[in-house]
Chains A and B, each alone.
Chain A
Amino acid sequence: MWPLRNLLEVKIRRAELQKARALQTYYEAKARRERKIKSKKYHRVLNKAKRKEFLKRFEEMVKNDPAAALEEINKMELARMQERMSLKHQNSGKWAKSKAIMAKYDESARKAMQQQLEVNKDLTQKLSIALNDDNEETETPENLPDFVNEAPLGTDSNPWMKGKLSEEPAETKGETHNLNLTAELTETAANVEEEESDVEETEEESLQMSEVCAKAAPVEESADASLQLVEGQTDQMQPLEFMELLNQVESVQPDQTPVEPRPSSDQAQKKQPKGITLKDTLTKDANPILVPLAPTAVAAEDSDETLTQTGLIQEAFAGDDVISEFMKDKKNQEDADKPSVVDMTLPGWGEWGGAGLKPSRSKRRRFRVKTAPPPPRKDEKLPGVILSEKRNSSLSLHQVNTLPFPFTSHTQFESTLRSPLGRTWNTERAVKKLTKPKVITQLGTIIEPMTREELMKDKKTINLLTITPHSKHLNKKKKSQVF
């Protein structure tokens, strides 16, 4: 149309524009009016009409324009998907709940709820049935095309439907059996492999995680393969076999290394000096005593002979065990009193942790809490004596545990208590002197009350009587001198 050459063309153009504008305003006004309509009946009728029209158009489209039909189908599919996902029309929203309250009394509310549910049902209907209903009603069931069982074209959303669906069960049984056997064979092969690997592992004491992983990997792969084989028959899969596979994968674990006994040569060396001194104390030079009278031998015939043999043996071996037993006893006592080393390591936290895994040596060394050594025992210097370090708690109930006021150290206090004051340990004169009171009066003498001068004689206190108003500063001086 451009360029506009003459007046006519301009007028035509103007008329067209006017018409367009008029139409635009008309349709807008119409839409506005229609939008405002709240009548339920109207909308019901309208929707029905729309649906009928849509169906008619769809049929035409399928015949003439399949692409457009496909688009419509896609839209329907989308709506269905949305409904299935969101479950909007299931009487669960605020509107539906409020309607449910009214539904008891109101017919229309009930109907509205039912309508919503119907909508949901419509939308969530399976398309195949719909498709079947729509498209292939007349065809015989025997000659069903392949695409019936196939997933509808274009649905990329469902990965589980990608694989081929199973054929009829009668034919598939044999195949499944074969498949199972093969699976088992692979499993047993995997087992054998694993057993061998286990044996190898137990033979070699040192084990590293990488090796384990390497060994586990092929096992896992084979397991995966078997899994995949079996996967196709999800409904035929034996749960036990699956569990077995899982167990195999997990059972490849490193065994714990046995702890070797430390050499005890150091201990033996340590014991020797102690043993010597104990033996020394026992076998100290015994001064023989000359006895003038010999005891009369017991008149028993056999006993003499037996004495010579068994008695000698007994005497000879009597002392051997005694020393070692005693030393063992003392060592046990010392160890019992020693505070044990506390191991505070936590597995994990910077290294691998798990069942049957020990934290590394450096970590254990770091977290071993070393307690201070206990104070030296009283029987350290005495090899042949075990002194009990226990405290007599029942005695401590009767003992003094705080120092009375004038004393500054416990030795002072103990020295005042050391000497006894009673009649059992002292003579009568001593007792009387020790328990002499501070003030001794004669019976019958008159005791005068104290005078003020006596009270103030020794004490360095403020002389209250001497304070007079005009001599305050004088007294203050006195105070500072006194104190």
Chain B
Amino acid sequence: MAQKQAARFDLLLPEEAGFLEGDENEDTCTISQQDIADAVDITSGTKYFDLNLSQFGPYQLDYSKTGRHLLLGGRRGHVACVDWQSKQLMCEINVMESIRDVRWLHTETMFAVAQKKWLFIYDSNGIELHCIRKFNDVLRMQFLPYHFLLATASMTGFLQYLDVSVGKEVAAICTKKGRLDVMCQNPSNAVIHLGHSNGTVTLWSPSQKEPLVKMLCHHGGVRSVAVDKTGTYMVTSGMDKKLKVFDVRTFQNLNSYFLPAGASCLSLSQRGLLAAATGDVVQVYRDVWSSPVRKPYMAHRAQAAACELRFCPFEDVLGIGHGQGFTSILVPGAGEPNFDGLDSNPYRSAKQRQEWEVKALLEKIQPELISLDPTQLGKVDLGTFQQKHQDRVQALGFDPLAKEKFVPRHKKKGRSSAGNVDRRKRQVANIDQRLKFLTVAGNGTKKEVKQQPQLHLLCDACFLVLVKYYTYTHTHCWCKQRTLTRDKVF
């Protein structure tokens, strides 16, 4: 019922995704950004812009969760946070140290900067709030929004988790894999993916000291990893100039592509567009996992070598951080058109933001619940359950859940007479035959036996699916709230 309702309400969604289609003989990857900017409306056209910041080195960037605010961090210490749509500068400082990575925290009021030695947290006005010395030599950072955890990967091989709501270090894991350069998160289950120089990608959770999964992905080192929003696909690029697409849930390699020069950065958008950067060329591919891709969807040459790529959350915009500053290009069809107003609303006011922050803090998830399967909490703990059952059986001397052995009552006449018993036995034997799919006849040929239909009936109240073999008109659900008839077939 809930699914039906959701499907119905999909029609009421206000926005639609964008797209780019070329003319008959035109290739979409040859269309330049200027042409696109000229073709769209003014507001969208202003979303294509360049920031020339050649003084302070290659720029790292981060978009906030709502997609409204942009944080720029130059290698030589320049930090700026700006509302990029209205071009309003929120703050601009120079921290006088080399910067390795910048990241927004849960709102646009605070951000974290991984500086040369330690981790610093600043206010959106540029005021230094905290200097966290425990987090030293941080190379990469990822923020897990629903857990309020800042995961940092350091030069010394340590993966540390910081709870930004409480201000405590939740876990410090010594990965023993050397310098942790490549990091990304799986948004659906908050598992951190790290890429290593021996071609492996490891998956980490703060509750375990060993990696949850270790996958061998590339012949050489792994250069970049990206996981899509639903947590189904992972795209990796390596030193062997290959780009591989994996299914994260079954760990199978779906597709493998060869790029002439390899990809140094990867980014996946909300609608499944992949952006890959090689040197100063940025290519965008559409739908890398379902069908093999021959050529890019779009391409763009930046002013200098690109070192960071980010898709803006609810906009069709890709941000490129390069050696000469920052460029924002238009990629039609990249962003999710309909946002969830209660989760991340790009048009929220300050008051709404405060209310949302409080509610989000109340719904904060504890770090020990992070695991590969996010629905594991709803499952019965089978290990303990079986152990308890065994203990109970031992204590009682018999198994209370086991069905009692059927002891037939032998009577001379009446229901259990010889004839009736025989008839009943024949019935049971026939049921077994009916359930078989194939039987082998005496002379070796296979013949199909007609199978009685299985009915799957869904009860609305308790969501129990009953499987029935016999045909009849109606039955009651065990919860006694529904009468299940033929029309409740699932």
- A contact set with B: CB distance below 8 Å: 278, 281-296, 298, 315, 318-319, 321-323, 325-326, 329, 379, 382, 384-388, 390-392, 394-396, 398-403, 406, 408, 410, 412-420, 423-427, 429-430, 433-434
Q: What B residues does A326 contact at CB under 8 A?
A: 198-200, 214, 216
B379 contacts A by Cβ under 8 Å? yes
**CB atoms of A287 and B256 under 8 A apart:** yes
Q: In whole Å, how far is B364's beta carbon from the nearest beta carbon of chain A?
A: 14
Known: A293-B299, A295-B281, A427-B6. A288 touches B381 (CB 8 A): no
**CB atoms of B463 and A418 under 8 A apart:** yes
**CB atoms of A419 and B368 under 8 A apart:** no
Known: A295-B280, A415-B465. A286 touches B256 (CB 8 A): yes
Known: A292-B299, A315-B239, A319-B199. A410 touches B369 (CB 8 A): no
Q: What B residues does A420 contact at CB under 8 A?
A: 2
Residue of A nearest to B205 (CB): A392
A421 to B304, CA, bound (A): 50
**CB atoms of B255 and A291 under 8 A apart:** no
Q: What B residues does A292 contact at CB under 8 A?
A: 27, 29-30, 295-296, 299
**CB atoms of B379 and A399 under 8 A apart:** yes
**CB atoms of B258 and A288 under 8 A apart:** yes
The contact sample of 22 A-B pairs, CB cut-off 8 A, is: A282-B218, A287-B255, A289-B285, A291-B259, A291-B278, A291-B281, A292-B29, A294-B281, A295-B280, A315-B220, A319-B220, A325-B198, A382-B251, A384-B216, A390-B210, A395-B207, A399-B384, A414-B379, A423-B342, A427-B8, A429-B5, A430-B2
Q: What A residues does B342 contact at CB under 8 A?
A: 423-424
A164 to B149, CA, bound (A): 99
Once A and B bind, how many residue pairs between them come within 8 Å at the CB atom? Answer: 203
Q: What B residues does A379 contact at CB under 8 A?
A: 251
Q: What B residues does A281 contact at CB under 8 A?
A: 216, 253
Contacts A286-B257, A291-B278, A410-B379 known; 6 new A-B pairs at CB < 8 A: A289-B259, A319-B219, A385-B216, A388-B210, A396-B384, A427-B2
Contact of B381 (CB < 8 Å), options: A284, A401, A426: A401
**CB atoms of B261 and A295 under 8 A apart:** yes
A204 to B208, CA, bound (A): 55
**CB atoms of A386 and B5 under 8 A apart:** no
**CB atoms of B29 and A387 under 8 A apart:** no
Q: What A residues does B260 contact at CB under 8 A?
A: 288-289, 291, 294
Q: In whole Å, how far is A386's beta carbon from the nearest beta carbon of chain B?
A: 4
**CB atoms of A398 and B299 under 8 A apart:** no
Interface pick from B120-128, B130-138, B370-378: B370-378
Q: Which residues of chain B from 271 to 304 have a CB within 8 Å of any chain A CB?
A: 278-281, 283, 285, 292-296, 299, 301
Contact of A401 (CB < 8 Å), options: B205, B217, B259, B384: B384
Residue of B nearest to A297 (CB): B279
Q: In whole Å, how far is A238's beta carbon from the nearest beta carbon of chain B?
A: 62
**CB atoms of B5 and A322 under 8 A apart:** no
A282 to B222, CA, bound (A): 13
A316 to B478, CA, bound (A): 66
Q: In whole Å, how far is B303's beta carbon from the nearest beta carbon of chain A?
A: 11
B242 contacts A by Cβ under 8 Å? yes
Q: What A residues does B9 contact at CB under 8 A?
A: 427
**CB atoms of B388 and A433 under 8 A apart:** no
**CB atoms of B382 and A410 under 8 A apart:** yes
Q: In whole Å, how far is B304's beta carbon from the nearest beta carbon of chain A?
A: 9
**CB atoms of B199 and A400 under 8 A apart:** no
Contact of A285 (CB < 8 Å), options: B8, B256, B295: B256
**CB atoms of B208 and A410 under 8 A apart:** no
**CB atoms of B208 and A390 under 8 A apart:** yes
**CB atoms of A416 and B462 under 8 A apart:** yes
B215 contacts A by Cβ under 8 Å? yes
**CB atoms of A318 and B251 under 8 A apart:** no
**CB atoms of B294 and A322 under 8 A apart:** no
B385 contacts A by Cβ under 8 Å? yes
B380 contacts A by Cβ under 8 Å? yes
B442 contacts A by Cβ under 8 Å? no
Residue of A nearest to B210 (CB): A388
Contact of A386 (CB < 8 Å), options: B214, B305, B371: B214
B449 contacts A by Cβ under 8 Å? no
Q: In whole Å, how far is A6's beta carbon from the nearest beta carbon of chain B?
A: 112
Q: What B residues does A415 contact at CB under 8 A?
A: 463-465
**CB atoms of A419 and B2 under 8 A apart:** yes
**CB atoms of B6 and A408 under 8 A apart:** no
Pick the 4 closest A-B CB pairs, nearest first. A319-B219, A295-B279, A394-B368, A401-B384
Q: In whole Å, how far is B76's beta carbon from the nearest beta carbon of chain A?
A: 20
Q: What B residues does A295 contact at CB under 8 A?
A: 261, 278-281
Q: In whole Å, how far is B456's beta carbon from the nearest beta carbon of chain A?
A: 12
Q: In whole Å, how far is A378's beta carbon from the nearest beta carbon of chain B?
A: 10
Known: A388-B210, A430-B2. A408 touches B401 (CB 8 A): yes
Q: In whole Å, how far is A418's beta carbon from the nearest beta carbon of chain B?
A: 7
Residue of B nearest to A329 (CB): B214
A379 to B278, CA, bound (A): 34
Contact of B369 (CB < 8 Å), options: A286, A395, A419, A423: A395
A385 to B207, CA, bound (A): 20
B17 contacts A by Cβ under 8 Å? no
